[in-house]
Amino acid sequence: MNLFSGSLLLILCLLAELVILRVMRKEEVPWREIVYNVSSGHILMWILRAVEVLIFSIVVDNYSLRLLDNWGFPAQWVFTFLGWDFCFYWLHRMHHKIPLFWKIHVVHHQGEHFSLSLGLRNSWYSSLSSIPFFIVLAFIGVPVPVFVSVAAIHYFVQFYNHNGVVGDSGILEKFMVTPAIHRVHHGTNPEYRNKNCGGTLNIWDRLFGTYQKKIEGVEIIYGVEGAIKTDNPFWGNNLPFMEALKMKLPEFNISENKKFNVSDFYIASGGLIVLALWLYYIYFEGQGLVLHQSLLFSLVFIATVALGSLSDGRLAGMIGWIILTLVPSIAYAVYFDIYKSWSIIFFVLFFVHGLYGMKLTLEHFSKSKLSNLET
C-alpha cells in the first residue's frame, strides 16, 4: 500500500466513524475540533517525518553496527516490530516527563473529543522529537525499508486505538494497547495521568509500572487543564513554546460581538477541501515535480492556518481564506494545466467555497455598518 492509498484509507475510516457517532449514536460532533485534529499535523509534520527517515538512513549507511545483516527478513521484521514498540514506549513516556518534549506532545492531549481524528492530531515537531529514541535502531542496523514498514503498522494501530466506537476488546486487552486502554491514557484525572504509554503492546506498561485500567466510577476527563483554547494549528503548535519564553500572546477569549462567526458546516466543508488538496499533494509525492509540490505544499499549509484562524472567529482568517481560494488556486490551475486532470474538482470547490466566504464577509460588513448607524 502506497502513501496515497494509506492516507485515503485513514480519511475514509475517520469519516465512517463520524457518521456512526452522529447518525447512529446521535452524538454531538465538535466539527471545529475535528478539523483542527485532522489538519494540526498534516503536511508539515509529514515533511519532518521524511527528515526523520533521512537521518535514520544516514546513520544506517554510515554508522551502523550492522548486527542484523546476517538475519533473515522475518527475524529482522520481528526484532524491529518489538524494538520499535519498545522505543516508542520510552519516547511516549519521556514526552510526558520532560518539559521540552511535553510542549510538543501537549498538542495531542489538548483534544477533548476521543475519536479517530484525535489519532491524527499531532504536533508539527513530533517527528523531530522522535529521532533520539528511534536512532538506536539505526545504530543496531535495522534496514530502512523494514523500519518504515514496521512504523507504518504501529502508527495505524495507534490511529485505530483512538476510535470512539469500540469498547472492550476481549482477549486483546491482555497484551495490546486497545481503545479502552488508550482512553485511560488521555485522562487528565490524577488517577490516569501519565499512564498507559505503550503504542501497540501493553507489555511495556505492565513491566515498567505505568499500566492502569479504567477505575470503576472514575470517569475519564479529556483534554489538558489550563490550556488556551484555539482551533488554529499555528497557535496550537507554537503557543507552548511562546508561553515558556514568556512572549506576548494574542487574545483568544474574543467577545461574541467582536467575533467573525461562520457556521460549523462552513468550517467542516473547508476542512474537507483542504484534506482533498492534501491528498492531491500526496498523490504526486515522489514524482520529481519539485516546483509543483512546493507551491502545492505552500497552498495547503497556508490554507490550513487561514481556516484555523477563521475557526477561532477572526476576520483576518476569512480574508486570508478568500485570497487563497480566489487567487492562488486560479493561478495554480492555469499554470499547471489541472483542467486536464481529475483534480480540477478540488480547485473548483476551493474557488466556490471562497466565493461564498466573500458573500459572508460582505454581509458581515453590511451588518456592522447598519449597527453603527443605529447606535
Domain boundaries, the chain: 3-208, 256-374
Residue 252's pLDDT is what? 83
pLDDT at 340: 61
The pLDDT assigned to 286 comes to 65
Contact assessment for residue 196 and residue 213, using Cβ atoms and an 8 Å cutoff: no
Spatial CA neighbour of 223 closest among 75, 8, 33: 33
Q: Is 178 left (phi over 0), alpha (psi -120 to 50) or beta?
A: beta
Look at residue 269 in the predicted model and tell me its pLDDT.
95
| Per-residue confidence (pLDDT) for residue 290, from 0 to 100 | 79
Radius of gyration (C-alpha) of the chain in whole angstroms: 22
Which pTM value belongs to this model? 0.92
Per-residue confidence (pLDDT) for residue 339, from 0 to 100: 58
Among 327, 329, 330, 323, residue whose Cα is nearest residue 306: 323
Mean pLDDT of successive 10-residue stretches along the chain, which has 375 residues:
80 92 90 91 79 96 96 97 98 97 96 94 94 97 97 95 93 97 96 97 98 95 91 94 91 80 95 88 75 84 94 94 85 68 78 94 81 57
Question: What pLDDT is attached to residue 338?
Answer: 64
DSSP assignment of 236-278 equals HHHHHHHHHTTPPPPP----GGG-----HHHHHHHHHHHHHHH
How many C-beta atoms surround the C-beta of residue 229 within 10 A? 12
Written as nine digits, the cell of 355 is 466565493
| pLDDT of the residue at 347 | 81
